[in-house]
């Protein structure tokens, strides 16, 4: 199940469902897969899984980086221990841009995911905005918005987060 979450299996199923299929067996299989993902969503998007990604520093788009995840997970930030993960996200966003283009692209994806999470944290957690201000998150976000070399995806996430 973790592998399906890592490749964002639910998103793939949704995209496939939006295609026209002549074979009704495929339509039925996709519907069963969608129901399976929907019923087991909490398993695919657990807070522990999110923390594990943050602690490893390996951020990729997955089911733990969605609005649905944040709508239910913001409550965990009442514990000071979990706020350390938010501090790590701010550090990721503040990292200087790498010069190697391949590595810079991977870093842009990491930063985009971190920015998305910070934006959702500030949106759903009642004290999120003030916490991010205390951490000095606005300055590195503003720098990304003005960086000519940042990818369009990264800039979009920076603007949304800001």
Model pLDDT, residue 115: 95
**Domains of the chain: total:** 2
Same domain, 103 and 137: yes
Same domain, 36 and 55: no
Instruction: Give the domain extent around 148.
Output: 45-161
Give the pLDDT confidence of 22-53 residue by residue, as tens digits: 999 999 999 998 888 777 665 555 788 888 88
Give the pLDDT confidence of 125-147 residue by residue, as tens digits: 999 999 999 999 999 999 999 88
Same domain, 34 and 76: no
Same domain, 28 and 100: no
Model pLDDT, residue 133: 93
End-to-end Cα separation, the chain, in angstroms: 34
SS3 93: helix
Same domain, 14 and 52: no
Same domain, 49 and 119: yes
Q: What is the CATH number of the domain that holds 53?
A: 1.25.40
Q: Write the CA distances from 106 to 4, 31, 138, 149, integer angstroms.
A: 21, 33, 22, 13
Model pLDDT, residue 46: 78
Q: Is the pTM of this model over 0.85?
A: no
Same domain, 26 and 72: no
Same domain, 6 and 79: no
CA distance 95 to 123: 23
Same domain, 26 and 89: no
Q: What is the 3-state secondary structure (H, E, C) of 9-20?
A: HHHHHHHHHCCC
Model pLDDT, residue 15: 80
């Amino acid at each position: 199940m973790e592998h399906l979450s890592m490749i964002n299996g639910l998103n793939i199923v949704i995209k496939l469902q939006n295609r026209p299929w002549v074979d009704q067996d495929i339509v039925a299989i996709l519907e069963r897969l969608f129901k399976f993902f929907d019923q087991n969503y909490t398993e695919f998007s657990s807070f522990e899984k999110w923390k594990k990604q943050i602690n490893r520093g390996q951020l990729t788009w997955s089911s733990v980086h969605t609005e649905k995840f944040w709508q239910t997970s913001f409550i965990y930030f009442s514990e000071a221990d979990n706020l350390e993960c938010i501090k790590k996200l701010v550090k990721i966003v503040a990292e200087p841009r790498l010069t190697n283009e391949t590595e810079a692209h991977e870093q842009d994806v990491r930063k985009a995911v971190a920015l998305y999470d910070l934006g959702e944290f500030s949106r759903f957690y009642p004290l999120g905005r003030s916490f991010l201000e205390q951490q000095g998150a606005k300055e590195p976000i503003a720098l990304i918005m003005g960086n000519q070399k940042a990818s369009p995806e990264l800039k979009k996430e920076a603007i949304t987060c800001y």
